[in-house]
Structure 1
Amino acid sequence: MLQTPALIMASYASLSLILPLKIRLFYKILGVGIIFLCALKYHFYARMGGILSPDLPSWLIVIMEAAFGSLIIGSFICLIKDLLFVLLFILRKCSLIKLKPKLFKLNVCVIIFALIFGFYGTCMQFFTPHINHETIEIKNLDKDFDGFKIAQLSDLHVGPLLKHEFMQKVVAAVNNEEVDLTVITGDLVDGRVEKLINEFRSLKDIKSPYGVLAVTGNHEYYSGSFAWIKALENFNVRFLQNEHVNLHKGNGTLTVGGINDGRSYGNELDKVFADAGKHTRVFLAHKPKDGVKAVDADLILTGHTHGGTMLFAGPLVADYNDGFVSGRYELENRVMYVSNGTGIWSGFSCRFLVPPEITIFTLKKA
């Protein structure tokens, strides 16, 4: 399924960037060959252990991901370039302008730009994610929870590329914010427990007094969700499986509920806040389309979309997620936040103007 769009992009990039140039046939064949080699990433992954967790050296995956990211960025820029060329052609025919850009220089600039941002967008996943602060005002918040801080991690995707060193940076960043509670909204992992569990050992070092609460994502389903839930409990992570917990501070209560990703166990929304009482409610879900159903929650935290990964892909990703893709959405009597993701899936790991994030929410009484 993923390979077909990649081949379409490669065909278009070849037609736009390489074939129109007045260069020797050998160089045209070479250029087209390189473009299609970039597009065959998923084909190689499928033959080397699978798309989810290919059995390849990390450095080779980074190169393949960067090359594929460059192809996507380059194809988008080509679309803009070609539309401008059509507009210029019409304007010249109407004798309105005489401008005729040099195709060779322009195409070389497109290739260089795409390569730079393709490699940068892929390598940035190894940096400490951006810290984003959000203040959430809630009318019925108990005064003892005024100023309560929640750190949201989402879409960590620990696996072929992101490992223990990345988790150490994330944990250090969370601890530096001195939060009260840490939540993880799904897609923690890409791979099996026996291969990757040791990469999560830093989770034990998170210093949030009210612990670490999590929900499953679709990648837990792919990786063996039953085994992962059991294994991560040893690192002080509690999964909310269509249920809630009540947190107490002074005389106040905060209810945090979480829903399973539908592919993992089946999500049962009506069970999450059953007998929860009329306290402030925070709802955790992996997918925005599951989160938006929680009409009785005050704050809804989700992920899954990676913020669209690339800025120009945002509208397409939003279309598959009920219109939600990144950031804060003010809904009727509630707020929903869709994280850009703290990590990134190694099968589509180039970000373009959509930085990874750790989000810190400060609850305030309205």
Structure 2
Amino acid sequence: MSVGEEVETRPRRRRSRAVRFALIVSAILLLLFGVPWWTLLASGNDWPTPVLVTGTIVAAGALLLFPFLMFSGHGGRHRDGPAKIADTTLGIVWVLFVWSLIGQVLTAVLWAAGVAGPARYRIATVVVTVVAVVLLLWGYAEAMRVPRVRRVEVTLDRLGRGLDGLRLVLITDTHYGPIDRVRWSQGVTAAINKLDPDVVAHTGDIADGEVAQRREQAAPLGDVRASLARVYVTGNHEYFSGAQRWVEHMASLGWEALHNRHLVVSRGGDSLVIAGVDDRTAAGSGVPGHHADHEAALEGADPALPILLLAHQPVQIAGAVAHGVDLQISGHTHGGQIWPFHYLVRLDQPALQGLSRHSPRTQLYTSRGTGFWGPPFRVFAPSEITLLTLRAA
């Protein structure tokens, strides 16, 4: 192939990928919006024509507007108005989609039981609608409240007796975003300080938006108290929103940004290495100097000391195992956030939530997250502020 042919082929490949991506997204959106439309309106309900026409117009309008609102809200400008509408729409449509599929199963059961149409379709429609409304109202309340404290004890074989009982508070995935949550952020800080922590860790995804946009929501993080250390690493969403500026801002709030580095905390004559690595997406973000580097993070650390590692994504546990980490703490999964999305999360991550072991030495704690991303709903995946009490063997 000549140089001219190679240069000509590249735009064709890019166009082909773009077309393929557009077709996949279009198919997903048609399913998300189409299944609820079919179940609630068109399948066999025999609704009056005005009801069917009005419902169809609303569904089609939402389908057509959704991608434009999502792009406008979560594109480079982070426009909060469109983002709120798009995110809320996504949450509502996801819940309706899931329960509309279940409604189709219910329709089949009613048919087998001898219930004639359109009654069986209308019964399924009522059930789906009531369940969806209840779950969305409950899910909104769950998302917007200050998280409950989840208390977990973790035994580390190499932890010295002087550090037995060390109180580590983990927050993650605060996702300060289009919905103003200053009071929520203040409530999170108050809840953390009541726990009298030795170490407080934030494992990334602070915000959706630049520092200038989310400064007020993030400000209460500056009031978090810890007797030994406040530490932070980047998540994948920082790389959509000025990662280096967030690293610098957290440092200005008094947090140690563990940008592929570590520090050592000591108590009672014993010490613990606390290290952090950038998110696994950092290398492809184009932000200079950002990439996950376990070797750099642990360079100069005493190999005899136990290691606590902050890494945003549970899937980064492979690097932790390879480098002899005792405990990795992560977020990212949100516990699935809106059931049953957790099944999709598990396709990408080795853990959804809670404590798990990945080698004779290395354990992983995965938080369900302190905030929420996008849709302001949490269904069967409650948020958490985690109090990890470290125990010597």
TM-score under structure 1 normalisation? 0.90
1:122: Cα distance to partner?
Answer: 2.9
**1:67-99 alpha-carbon deviations (Å, 9 max, x no partner):** 43232112112212223433564xx4xxxx545
Q: Secondary structure at the match of 1:46?
A: helix
Contact persistence 1:69–1:122 (CA under 8 A): no
- Residue in 2 that maps onto 1:287: 313
Give the 3 Å change call, closer, same or farther, for CA 208–38 of structure 1 in structure 2: farther
1:247 to 265, 269, 282: 265
Structure 2 residue aligned with 1:5: 28
SS of residue paired to 1:294: helix
Cα deviation code 1:165-223 (max 9, x no counterpart): 12101100101111110000010011112222232221221111113101001111111
Question: Deviations 1:259-288 (Å, cap 9, x if unpaired)?
Answer: 011333111122222231111111110111
TM-score for both structures, normalised by structure 2: 0.84
- Aligned-pair distance for 1:338? 1.2
Q: Is the 8 A contact 1:156 1:189 kept in 2?
A: yes
Query: Which secondary structure does the structure 2 equivalent of 1:149 belong to?
Result: strand
Distance in 1 between residues matched to 2:77 and 2:100, nearest whole Å:
29
Q: How many residues align?
A: 355
Q: CA deviation at 1:45?
A: 3.2
Task: Give the direction of change, closer, same or farther, for the CA distance of 1:351–1:110 in structure 2 (3 Å limit).
Answer: same
Which of 26, 33, 36 matches 2:57? 33
Amino acid at match of 2:47: I
- Residues 1:348 and 2:375 aligned together: yes
1:214-253 matches, cutoff 5 A? 214-253=232-271
Q: 1:54 aligns with which of 58, 75, 79?
A: 79
Q: Does 1:121 align with 2:144?
A: no
CA RMSD after TM alignment: 2.2
Q: 1:284 to 1:361 in 2, by over 3 A?
A: same
Higher deviation after alignment, 249-258 or 116-125: 116-125
Q: Take 2:26 and 2:379, find their aligned partners in 1: how far apart are those partners?
A: 21
Taking only the aligned residue pairs, the percentage that are identical comes to: 25
Q: How does 1:1-366 map to 2 (within 5 A)?
A: 4-19=27-42, 20-39=44-63, 40-48=65-73, 50=75, 53-56=78-81, 61=84, 65-86=87-108, 89=111, 92=112, 97-98=113-114, 102-264=120-282, 265-277=290-302, 278-295=304-321, 296-321=324-349, 323-333=350-360, 334-345=362-373, 347-366=374-393
Instruction: Give the residue type in structure 2 aligned to 1:324.
Output: A
Q: Is the 8 A contact 2:103 2:127 kept in 1?
A: no
Q: State which drifts further: 138-147 or 120-129.
A: 120-129
Structure 1 window deviating more from structure 2 (186-195 vs 198-207): it is: 198-207
Q: 1:184 to 1:7 in 2, by over 3 A?
A: same
Amino acid at match of 1:5: I
> Within 2, Cα distance between the matches of 1:37 and 1:172?
43
Partner SS, residue 320 of structure 2:
coil
Structure 1 pair 64–220 and aligned structure 2 pair: CA distance change class (3 A) = closer
Q: Residues of 1 paired with 2:70 and 2:120: CA distance?
A: 38
Deviation by residue 1:86-123 (Cα, 9 ceiling, x = unmatched): 3564xx4xxxx545663213202211221232233234
Post-superposition offset of 1:38? 4.5
Deviations 1:129-165 (A, max 9, x none): 1210110011111101000010001001112114321
Q: Which moved further from structure 2: 113-122 or 211-220?
A: 113-122
Q: Are residues 51 and 7 of structure 1, via their aligned partners in 2, closer, same or farther at CA, if it must alter by over 3 Å?
A: farther
What code does the residue aligned with 1:273 have? L
Q: Deviations over 1:306-329 (max 9, x none)?
A: 1111231111111022x3222221
Report deviation, 1:49.
6.4
Instruction: Point out the structure with the larger helix share.
Output: 2
Counterpart code for 1:10: F
CA distance in 2, matches of 1:51, 1:127: 29
Residue segments in structure 2 that go unaligned for 5+ positions in a row: 1-20, 283-289
